[in-house]
Amino acid sequence: YGSGIGEYLGVHNSPCLVAIARNTPGSIKGADILTARRRCWRYSEAIWLANHDTYEDLAAAHIPGTNTDVFLFYPARGEDVPDMLLGRPVFFTEFAETKGTKGDLVLGTWSQYLEGTYQTVERAESIHVRFLEHERVFKFWLRNAGAPWWSAALQPKKGAATLSPFVVIAT
């Protein structure tokens, strides 16, 4: 969520973010998930981040079929296999927005987010801060930055819809 000024640039403020229209206000449906998948660049490397409030919607998300519905969510099968949504891992986190708002479900190809350190770790110490208590204070800091690698969404040579490594469902 960062602005990029004195902090990391968050994907929600990135110029490459693709926000797709929500089919049903306040909930997530199978069509929303399919649209997000269609707009994601390199989906085979992407992961889903979701708010805990969205669990019921994701568990019920499906593609209607003639004889039976195809469910898009598969619960975790042990420690080494996470919850899966449309074939990719989904991680529930309190850092995603609450259900029904932009960012409640985020699809991201995180290899396209850059983080770098441009000043090595520096340190300082002082014996004067709490002299009467016989304590010494240490301070360490470094300078780093992070931002999505892309400056805009990709307009494919063939196809009308833009692609991006970061896709959210709008409010």
Q: Could you read off the pLDDT of 31-49 as tens digits, one per residue?
A: 999 999 999 999 999 999 9
pLDDT tens for 91-133 read: 999 999 999 999 999 999 999 999 999 888 999 999 888 888 8
Higher pLDDT, 167 or 69: 167
> What whole-number distance in Å separates Cα of residue 52 and Cα of residue 69?
24
CA-based nearest residue to 74, from 64, 59, 62, 63 = 59
Do β-strands 105-108 and 47-50 pair in parallel, antiparallel, or remain unpaired? antiparallel
Residue 115's pLDDT is what?
93
- Statement: residue 79 has pLDDT above 90: no
Calculate the average pLDDT of the chain: 92
- For the entire predicted model, the pTM comes to 0.84
